[in-house]
Structure 1
Amino acid sequence: MTTADLLNLFESKLKEKPDHDFHPLDLERLKDERYLTRVMKHSENDPKQATEMLWDIFTWRKTQGANEINEGNIKMEYVTEGAFFPHGRDIDGCLLLIMKSKKHIKGQKNIDEIKKIIIYWFDRIEREENGKKVSLFFDLEGCGLSNMDMELVNFIISLFKSYYPFFLNYIVIYQMPWVLSAPFKIIKSLLPAKAVEKMKFVNKDTLKDIVPPEQALTCWGGQDDYVFQFVPENKAQTEHTPKKVTFAEQPNTQHSPGEMLQINPSSLIIFNVVNDEITGQFTIKNMDEGPISFKIRTTSPEKFRVRPSSGVLTGGSSQTIVIVVQPEFQMRNVSKDMFLVMSVQIPKTDLSANELREVWQKSSGSKVDEYRLKCQFPIKEIQKNGKVNEDLSIDKPDSIVNALNNLQINYEMLHRQVNSLKILQLIILLLTAISVVLGFMLFQNKDPEEYCDRI
């Protein structure tokens, strides 16, 4: 099913209900192929379900007056406190939408005004990021029950779930205190299964797995000393527009998103067993006339060696990327990981590290091309000596792979339980033997009656 099917169904529904009174700006979204694609993906490519979702989105936006919310009618004293703001990017290059929960105390502020501010940020980010996904970052350091506002959290979840399609990358929960364990169990119950998989509980040691250190705030142990200051949207767009860098002029080559690189294979990295190592590879080719810089990111950098993980390509040149699974990680622990390839145009090939960093920092989301690759791993049979004997399932469907993984996990659990029972049985046998020996010694030195009395 395609977006054309969605558009036809939706336009038919518009004719059936001509008194819909949808906002003209929302109806303009029907001309945006990327937006319709997001709705289809969110609805698992079911055009009927996508049509209902799109109708619900437009209805909700009309009732909320979402298109009229702007910097002139939101409560700016709430905004400038910095309890909710976007900044930094996760390992996939997606913007972080940060909620500093310690700065929010339930019941102290007008909840409707806070909701308007959140809609403002969602709409603004959607415009500035061209619909790219964002990661919701709950900063819970130093929080207590008074900072946990379930109504507000439920509202934010409903936005991702129903009104901003295919917009959520991760839900990052940072430094969650034990007192908030129960509320977050409730939050998990509110989320669909796919969203639960996106939840990442991290602390200062594990944050680097989701947010690169250079993108993490210093208060999280990162390298970014940013302190929130509100910048009006028009000014922010001007500041984020790529400028000519001081060391050279930017090339005039234009490209459409998704055309900068050619990747082979295009969407799937197939891993094989080579010399007792699990390795995969893919090739990237620069389709632009000018040079580009590329970076490779993964959801779990500690599990893989990526060579090279970044570099520069001249026009028309290619580079093979080799990925090796670290030996301490088993396949069932890496099978859900993904890789992100990012590329950006650069003015020349011989840039210094600092100059390259400057190009990436000045490149907005629309100037960076992104390509996501899934992984396909073999299921291997391990002999007693630990060597790989045979690759059993490079072409098996995910359901069989998952079943085999679950079987292996269950086997290991059963094996541990049997070992525990063996240890317990040995302890009982030892205690029984000690009792018999002691009894025999008492019986040898005392008459039977006295022995029985002692027993």
Structure 2
Amino acid sequence: MPAKVQTPTQTQIAELRKLFNEKYEQSPPKVPFHHADLQRIRNADIWLTRFLEMYDLDMQVSLDKLWDTCIWRQEYGTNELNENNLVKEYLNDGVVFARNKDLDGKSLLIFRTKIHVKGTKNMDEVIRVVVYWIERIQRETNLDQMTIFFDMAGTGVSSMDMDFVKRIIETFKLYYPNALNYILIYEMAWVLNAAFKIIKGFLPAKALEILKMISKKDINQYIDKANCLASWGGNDLYEFKFVPEKLQRPTTLTVISNGSVPTPPVSPDTPTGYEKKVHFANNNRMYAGSEMPECERVYQNQDPASTMLRISPNDNVYFNRGENNEIVVELTCIGKQPITYKIQTTSPEKFRVRPRCGYLAPSEKAFVNILLKQDYHLGESPKDKFLVMCMLAPVGIEPSQQSMSEAWKMKPQASSDIEQHRLTCNYKGSTSGASTPCTCGSPDEGFSSTKGTTTSDLSTQAKLLESQLRFTQILQCITLVFLLGLCVAVVYLLKTQLNQLNACVGDEECSASTAGGHCPGKNL
């Protein structure tokens, strides 16, 4: 049965909501939290309940984790993930998808590990697809729990990607409290036992209670036959094909007389907005990160003339290779009218940008701090980029960051009145901007696992596992050679005995026809 948790009372839920609202009013975040997340907190109980259940009704820990999760969701852009800003290949390969329900009526999030090939994909993009499916299930079920189903039938050592599994576990552990009904491991080969022991070490205590090893014999204890795929011995003949989610998108912005921008309406199970997808000339995709974008476009080679904004530096930004990985970009309004600017990046998980958007009066300057997070590195040749956009500020809108953010949400990026500037990230002294790709697990350096496990510790454990798996493979080869030699020896002995028996029978037949004959084979 699912893990036992302490159920919070309405008074405790109301207290957590009150503490959050007070903190948001007294110490607001640098970038306002997404209004869909704020609505979850202020108008519903289920999300607050999940945090209180996960952290054993500890009010302060629940508040801290809720606050950290809202920061991550804003920076990661979870509410804007959709098929238009994800890698189509990863959506269509069927490594991860949602299908059917378990016996408790909880949605199944299925991972087919056999068709996942380690080292062939961009791990950050794969995890974005995983987060998309988690968000999609939660939208469809109003934050109900789900069951993770790892289909490991036919999975060998080459398909066992520890980094992939570790990132999935960390995502749930840090940002989706008490969201799981079961973790089902289906038909895992014995050769992966060493890997499984390390995976169990990543899990918090509550997750170990719902972790179940199953096979075809006992799968119906958790999923009935009608909801089991045919490959699991069930009746569902489903073949995966990605079907886009149907969402309602806000399309207009209304500015009211006092200059404030109203929040677009939000349906109970539909997020507002979706992420912009921007292609540079070299087809590297760019995402809005913590902003809420509206549409998709292809960015052409030609840039508009700089008539509104001057940027320094205006082409490349250079980071140090040491610990001090923060730079400052200067923005200057060179036009005769007020403008608003907005900054996007190809890798929102790597950078902190403050402020991401703002207001500039004529001749006014703004300084934007860009921080390359600890344990992250710049991409290859050069992979990481920024897009700085500006447009005339809407008439009558107040010059606050929140108002500017709302204005950008409702502005189609394809509009001809938007001026765009591109910045490429490099290391100082680098000619190509190449660097070692990041394979760290945590999306944000500010978060750590419940047990205090660090990224370096997890990397060490992963390396240890790889060495154990290599040793297991060598041991398998030695065992096979030994068995082969044993089989040859047995065959040789049997053949020798058979030859001796045939010789003896021949001598006896000879002696029967010759009186007083002797069979030499009898002495053998």
Normalised by the length of structure 2, the TM-score is 0.44
- Indicate the residue corresponding to 1:10 in structure 2: 20
Secondary structure of 1:201's aligned partner: strand
| 2:241 is aligned with 1:229 | yes
- Taking the TM superposition and a 5 Å limit, the aligned residue runs for 1:48-67 are 48-67=60-79
- Indicate the residue corresponding to 1:87 in structure 2: 99
Cα contact 1:83–1:104 (8 A) shared by 2: yes
1:160, CA displacement in angstroms?
1.9
- Indicate the residue corresponding to 1:204 in structure 2: 216
Instruction: For residues 84-129 of structure 1, give each alpha carbon's deviation from its aligned partner in whole angstroms, at most 9, with x where no partner exists.
Output: 0011211111111000001101110111110111111111111001
Instruction: For residues 247-298 of structure 1, give each alpha carbon's deviation from its aligned partner in whole angstroms, at most 9, with x where no partner exists.
Output: xxxxxxxxxxxxxxxxxxxxxxxxxxxxxxxxxxxxxxxxxxxxxxxxxxxx
Unaligned 5+ runs, structure 1: 237-455
| 2:30 is aligned with 1:24 | no
Task: Indicate how the Cα distance of structure 1 residues 127 and 235 shifts in structure 2: closer, same or farther if over 3 A, else same.
Answer: closer
| 2:154 is aligned with 1:131 | no
Q: In 2, Cα distance between the equivalents of 1:203 and 1:83?
A: 20
1:219, CA displacement in angstroms?
0.4
- Taking the TM superposition and a 5 Å limit, the aligned residue runs for 1:54-453 are 54-234=66-246
Q: Which amino acid aligns with 1:169?
A: N
Secondary structure of 1:85's aligned partner: strand
Q: Which has the higher contact order (CA 8 A, sep 6+)?
A: 2
1:68, CA displacement in angstroms?
2.3
Q: Which amino acid aligns with 1:83?
A: V
Q: In 2, Cα distance between the equivalents of 1:208 and 1:170?
A: 14
Q: In 1, Cα distance between the equivalents of 2:76 and 2:189?
A: 34
Instruction: For residues 151-191 of structure 1, give each alpha carbon's deviation from its aligned partner in whole angstroms, at most 9, with x where no partner exists.
Output: 11111112221211221010100000011111111111111
Q: Which amino acid aligns with 2:150?
A: F
Secondary structure of 1:232's aligned partner: coil
1:27, CA displacement in angstroms?
1.5
- Indicate the residue corresponding to 1:418 in structure 2: none
Q: State which structure, 1 or 2, has the greater radius of gyration over its C-alpha atoms.
A: 2
| 2:13 is aligned with 1:35 | no
1:82, CA displacement in angstroms?
0.5
Q: Which amino acid aligns with 1:53?
A: K
Which range moves more in the overlay, 32-41 or 51-60?
32-41
Q: In 2, Cα distance between the equivalents of 1:206 and 1:88?
A: 18
1:67, CA displacement in angstroms?
2.0
Q: Which amino acid aligns with 1:49?
A: V
Q: In 2, Cα distance between the equivalents of 1:33 and 1:62?
A: 20
Cα contact 1:9–1:51 (8 A) shared by 2: yes
Cα contact 1:14–1:20 (8 A) shared by 2: no
Q: In 1, Cα distance between the equivalents of 2:126 and 2:236?
A: 27
Q: In 1, Cα distance between the equivalents of 2:229 and 2:30?
A: 45
Q: In 1, Cα distance between the equivalents of 2:157 and 2:78?
A: 31
Q: In 2, Cα distance between the equivalents of 1:150 and 1:63?
A: 25
Instruction: For residues 390-443 of structure 1, give each alpha carbon's deviation from its aligned partner in whole angstroms, at most 9, with x where no partner exists.
Output: xxxxxxxxxxxxxxxxxxxxxxxxxxxxxxxxxxxxxxxxxxxxxxxxxxxxxx
Cα contact 1:170–1:199 (8 A) shared by 2: yes
1:32, CA displacement in angstroms?
1.7
Q: In 2, Cα distance between the equivalents of 1:201 and 1:170?
A: 11
Cα contact 1:133–1:169 (8 A) shared by 2: yes
Secondary structure of 2:246's aligned partner: helix
Q: Report % sequence identity.
A: 44
Q: In 1, Cα distance between the equivalents of 2:130 and 2:139?
A: 14
Secondary structure of 2:216's aligned partner: coil
Q: Deviating runs (4+, > 6 A) in structure 1?
A: none
Q: How many residues matched? A: 236
Normalised by the length of structure 1, the TM-score is 0.50
Cα contact 1:85–1:97 (8 A) shared by 2: yes
